[in-house]
Amino acid sequence: MKRIGWVVTVAVGALVAGCFALGSRSLPDPVNRALHHRSARTVTLYSLEPRSTNANAKIFHGHTILGETTIDDAAARKKLFAAFRKGVADHDGSVAACFLPHHGLRIESDRGTLDLVICFECAQVKVYENGVPSEALLISTSPRAAFDELLEAADVPLSKGATASP
């Protein structure tokens, strides 16, 4: 009988842990609000080279900007934001410690500026609200193709380290 109690305890614990893990995939309110394509005034997508070494380079939160494009088209914004949301929802809980971001996203609205510095390799997103670090997020590699497609369509160079999704 003790073994059954132990199995039930482990099963309930796994269920509770799974619920908390699913909850961690939700977007913080500032990110959720910013990802409504109609409320965004300006959306800028960046191609980044991790860790700036060029003193004359334009920088996005410590990383060299290789190029950027403004996403003015409502359908493109919607696609980009949907890909980002899906990437957060699809995240499997794995994470690495590298943080070598190759993508960045700046969303400007009446509420201010939200910056997302994205490393698809280690599945992490650093969030900045009006330049101040905020909550970090975990993300799958699934949005990378949509991000790269928009950058390439605007003739923005991709980092040599930014490989396509597996």
Antiparallel, parallel or unpaired: β 59-60 and 40-49:
unpaired
C-alpha to C-alpha distance for 41 and 62, rounded to whole angstroms: 24
Neighbours of 36 (CB within 10 A): 13
Asked whether residue 91 is assigned to any structural domain, the reply reads yes
Asked whether residue 73 is assigned to any structural domain, the reply reads yes
3-class secondary structure for 46-94?
A: EEEECCCCCCCCCEECCEEEEEEEECCCHHHHHHHHHHHHHHHHHCCCC
Asked whether residue 141 is assigned to any structural domain, the reply reads yes
Q: What's the pLDDT tens digit per position in 81-128?
A: 999 999 999 998 888 888 999 999 999 998 899 999 999 999 999 999
CATH of the domain at 120: 3.30.1490
Per the CB < 8 A criterion, the answer to whether 83 and 142 are in contact is yes
- CB neighbours of 80 closer than 8 A, spacing ≥ 6? 43, 45, 71, 105, 143, 146, 147, 150
C-alpha to C-alpha distance for 88 and 139, rounded to whole angstroms: 4
pLDDT in tens, the chain (166 residues): 455 544 333 333 333 333 334 334 678 888 888 887 677 899 999 999 997 777 788 999 999 999 999 999 999 999 999 999 999 999 988 888 889 999 999 999 988 999 999 999 999 999 999 999 998 999 999 999 999 999 999 999 998 876 544 4
DSSP state of 161: T
Asked whether residue 7 is assigned to any structural domain, the reply reads no
The number of domains in the chain is 1
Give the domain range for residue 140: 27-153
